[in-house]
Structure 1
Amino acid sequence: MRSITASAVLAVALVTSGCATLVDTPPAPVDAALREAGVPMASMSVVAYPMDAPGTGLRINADRPMAPASTMKTITAVVALDRLGPNSRGQTQLLAAGEIRDGRLDAPLVLKGGGDADLDWASLWSMLRELRERHGLRDLAGGIVVDRGLFNPARLDIGAPRFDEQAEFPYNVIPDALHLNGSLLQYDLAADARSLTVRPFPQFGGLAIDTSAVTLNDKPCKDWDDGWMPSRFEALPGGGARLTLAGEFPRDCRVTQSLNVLDRQWETAQALRQLWMALGGTLSGEIREGATPEGATLLVQHRDRPLAELLRPIMKASDNALARMLYLRLGAWAAQPGEDTRDAAARVVREWFAAQKIDTAGLTLENGSGLSRNERASAAQMAAMLRASARGAHGPELLATLPVAGVDGTLSRRMKGTPAEGRARMKTGTLRDVVALAGYVPDSTGRTWIVVAIVNDDQAMKARPAIDALVAWVAGR
């Protein structure tokens, strides 16, 4: 009875005072939802206040560093918009390390990655075709150098520990500066009653896929990935490779899935060779990773979407790989010679917070996506960051990228039929033991509130209704 009575007092105080009160007791709907979930209030951190009155509203465990899950993407987005600018674009370049004579290049051709998030198979084909038709290049006699050196280290994926048991799935991709086709290849998996057949698209002639270790089961096709086990990639003499799949797969099931199961340099080399030959070119010499030779001449360039547009899939679909890419681009922009790109990105974020006079105590950054067991931020820090963004030059760009409650993105099915539907714009966060929301909520008078709510608990998923109840409570005020 004590918490319910306190919640009633909270509602009266906020209404009668015009939100001139700062309270630390949850509203009744939130309190009830937490009790239903069996999650203690101590596991929840909340900050909610009108944007024009930051010293009022609701604060519960506001300064406690919490695992923010994907709400961490708001920090990466806000700082990147401010430091890189909404028109910032990644790029991929083809450069010649020598002169083209009679359609022949005796020095290496360089494929240089520049954090281009949109470099897919079609884009690479288009770049190579431009090389053939505009520059008359036919014979790559000096081989090809693949330069991933924009980020330090260049291959963060090598030796990285698995985040979870599905490290090969798209949400777990660790990007590099080239990021060709998102470091993914599409596979058509089809099983009958006796065996599994796997066909990649596009097909690389040197790739053999071994499914002999896959056992068929009788689970529903929708649960096909429950029995997925890590695969094994092996490069073979002569340029070929073998991919060995393992685990279980349902009988009479067909699935199309993009996976990160090939060595990305082998995959890049296969794509370059296959596409170049299809365009009528010839290629001798090796395809290797390396640095761009000094004095190399730019021949062809591809650019991705402006940052303000790239943020839409990062925020609305919560794309981890693109968020990590953006974080690394932020680091590359500021890195000193030899500095780890991730350290440089963390430094830029802290400097931005300091410039906004936001305390960074307890703020812990790892990859900027929230797909981390180490990243931490308090609700108070995130609320202050969101307020600074809204009052800054690029607040409208951020607002346009956030999921809308009950309408799109990761909030498309949540808060329908509540006062928040179609109005609240918030970034979601979900991990095994984390649920969170952070963003902007207009109340019934049109006054915009900053709302951040984070739950860290073994039963966090059960507390999602409590967070939604908070947002609906604010929207209905």
Structure 2
Amino acid sequence: MWAMANRLRRQVVIVVGFCVMSSQVAAQQLPAELQQAWQNTKLSDSALSLVVKEVGGPTLIQHNATVPRNPASVMKMVTTWAGLSALGPEHTWRTTVYTQGPLSVDAQGSLQGPLYIKGSGDPFFSVPDLWNLLRDVRMRGVKNLSRVIVDRSDFGQVATDTYAFDGAGDRPYNASPDAMMVGFGASRLVFQPDPQNKKWVGFVDPPIAGMRVDNKVEWSNQRCPGSPVVNTQIKSAPNGTTVQASGTAAGSCGEFSVYRLTMGQEAFFNGLFKMIWKELGGTLAHDISAGKTPGNAQALVWHDSRSLADQIRVINKQSNNVMATLLLLRIGNQLNGSGATVASSENAAVRVLQSQGIDTSGWRIDNGSGLSRQARVTAQGLSQMLDVIWQSNYMPEFMSSLAIAGVDGTVRRRLRDDEVQGRAHLKTGTLRDARALAGYVLGSSGKRYIMVTMVNGEGTAAVRPFDDALVKWLAEQ
């Protein structure tokens, strides 16, 4: 009797061991409905990294968890958490206007000496913010400027070729970081319908001198099919910049806008400054130049940004690339000092994460946005980070930055079923050859789960139904 029982035990152990070793999604088998969803993707098992675990509890599913993969925009979770934990939710950026020594203005409103503007890389510094800052300068009696010097020394060489990643260098998602970035450096192209003449009237906002729209967008009488698609080409010349716009738009769509990068960040700021200063009744004798603020300069006026807690909501919910990179550079600047670069800031962020016990083996944060072919993380490391976040005092601030399933952000049109809508806080990642989804799911039992899924290679778009099925399954647990 006992001998038979021992033989049965050995057989069970052998069978279980074989199942674990031969399992396609190893560690613990996927539930049947998830196995079918994965098989339907027709993707190779080797392309997938997956971790599912209870918050602060056991791992439920694990596959290729230590393989470094490109997480696409899920990398923003890494950057925003490193920033939030290192700098704190109330951290702000200050953009300051200085004069050389105490303010000295003559009877005509002429400022003695240069006007300095020191940028700090505020990710959300806007055109209205710059207008208000310069209005404050005018309110202090300054009208005539001899020179304006822009100080970008918080950063080192960080400018990028906006066409390098995918050739779409005029698209705002490719914007280059800059310590004095305003409005992401993007121009708004506005198209107004003229029903009487059946044509579109185009103009650019802000109306920087030398900027014009060559509008060849054609009128259509069809029913509006959705947001019009406009093709653009940017033509730069010594006398200005021309945006050539083409395509077809239905008149029934009404007025619409598209955003484009029409010039480099430095040129955009210079043109914007001159436009606003002129609108405010000021004059500028010489051009704007780059330089450093002297030690004896006196702060005249300044603008404090929205808090970091507010800014990471934009970064993660809207998946804003350049804001993420500027946050990474801020980490480097605040931890290492002036002259921050992407490389030095990446090292600073990694040190922050490692100090929390997060395994960053094989990681490459790169520019911090995920808009990179070189970026790498592991599913295991990400799941560790999400566990650390949940135990942190800053968990509520971070959670509020993630997109809510079926409600807002990049998952507002996904996971709208009653059993899952509002029950998951997620970050998506999408590149041509990479898909990722990570975050927290609240199960019907009241348990909270961490999930990280990443797929790299050809045909990765096929993983979306599997990812959605995984979220729904967790919401039902």
RMSD: 2.7
Counterpart position of 2:3: none
Counterpart position of 1:179: 181
* Local SS of the residue matching 1:23: coil
Amino acid at match of 1:422: G
Amino acid at match of 2:62: R
What is the rounded CA distance, in whole Å, between the counterparts of 1:305 and 1:399 in structure 2? 18
Amino acid at match of 2:325: R
Structure 1 residue corresponding to 2:54, chosen from 50, 54, 61: 50
What is the rounded CA distance, in whole Å, between the counterparts of 1:221 and 1:178 in structure 2? 38
What is the rounded CA distance, in whole Å, between the counterparts of 2:57 and 2:267 in structure 1? 56
User: How big is the shift at 1:225?
Assistant: 4.2
What is the rounded CA distance, in whole Å, between the counterparts of 2:153 and 2:238 in structure 1? 23
TM-score under structure 2 length normalisation? 0.86
User: How big is the shift at 1:230?
Assistant: 4.2
- 5 Å-filtered alignment, 1:26-425, equals 26-54=30-58, 56-98=59-101, 99-102=103-106, 103-133=109-139, 135-140=140-145, 142-153=146-157, 155-157=158-160, 159=161, 161-189=163-191, 198-210=202-214, 225=229, 228=231, 230-236=233-239, 241-245=240-244, 248-250=246-248, 255-335=256-336, 340-417=340-417, 419-425=419-425
What is the rounded CA distance, in whole Å, between the counterparts of 1:93 and 1:443 in structure 2? 48
The CA deviation string for residues 385-418 of structure 1, in whole angstroms up to 9 with x for no partner, is 1111111221111011111111211111212225
What is the rounded CA distance, in whole Å, between the counterparts of 1:160 and 1:291 in structure 2? 26
Amino acid at match of 2:402: L
* Local SS of the residue matching 1:272: helix
User: How big is the shift at 1:252?
Assistant: 5.7
What is the rounded CA distance, in whole Å, between the counterparts of 1:221 and 1:137 in structure 2? 51
Which has the higher Rg, Structure 1 or Structure 2?
A: 2
The CA deviation string for residues 78-98 of structure 1, in whole angstroms up to 9 with x for no partner, is 111111111111121111124
Q: Is the 8 A contact 2:53 2:450 kept in 1?
A: yes
Moved more, 167-176 or 192-201: 192-201
Amino acid at match of 1:242: T
What is the rounded CA distance, in whole Å, between the counterparts of 1:342 and 1:444 in structure 2? 42
- May I ask how many residue pairs the two structures share in their alignment? 446
Q: Is the 8 A contact 1:225 1:249 kept in 2?
A: yes
User: How big is the shift at 1:40?
Assistant: 2.4
Q: Is the 8 A contact 1:190 1:255 kept in 2?
A: yes
Q: Is the 8 A contact 2:73 2:369 kept in 1?
A: yes
What is the rounded CA distance, in whole Å, between the counterparts of 1:263 and 1:181 in structure 2? 13
What is the rounded CA distance, in whole Å, between the counterparts of 1:191 and 1:164 in structure 2? 32
* Local SS of the residue matching 1:100: coil
The CA deviation string for residues 362-399 of structure 1, in whole angstroms up to 9 with x for no partner, is 10121111111110101101000111111122111101
Using a 3 Å threshold, how does the CA distance of structure 1 residues 208 and 445 change in structure 2: closer, same or farther? closer
User: How big is the shift at 1:165?
Assistant: 3.5
Moved more, 413-422 or 62-71: 413-422
Identity of aligned residues (%): 32
TM-score under structure 1 length normalisation? 0.86
Residue ranges of structure 1 left out of the alignment (5+ in a row): 11-21
Moved more, 309-318 or 195-204: 195-204
What is the rounded CA distance, in whole Å, between the counterparts of 2:76 and 2:305 in structure 1? 19
